[in-house]
Amino acid sequence: MCYMLRFILILLLVSPAFAAAGNGVVFVATPIPTLDEFGLGGLAALVAGLAGWAIRRNQKKRK
């Protein structure tokens, strides 16, 4: 527990220095491509097809 208290104390002492420096953590935001209506519909159809295939495959194994 003593190590935890030391860690918190060090964190509290160092955090004002990061705040004074501006942004203490470098955060790079990358754009994430999104799907349009057709792409989303295609993805849904693909997932539904794979789920149906997996269900049929598991039913054959149980018989």
- pLDDT for 28 equals 62
pLDDT tens profile 11-61: 777 776 666 666 555 556 677 777 788 888 999 999 999 999 999 888 877
In a domain, residue 4? The reply is no
In a domain, residue 12? The reply is no
Q: What is the pTM assigned to this prediction?
A: 0.45
In a domain, residue 25? The reply is no
Cα distance between residue 40 and residue 46, in whole Å: 10
pLDDT above 70 for 9: yes
Let me know: does 24 contact 18? Beta carbons within 8 Å. yes
Let me know: does 35 contact 43? Beta carbons within 8 Å. yes
In a domain, residue 56? The reply is yes
Domain that holds residue 40: 34-63
> Could you give the number of structural domains in the chain?
1
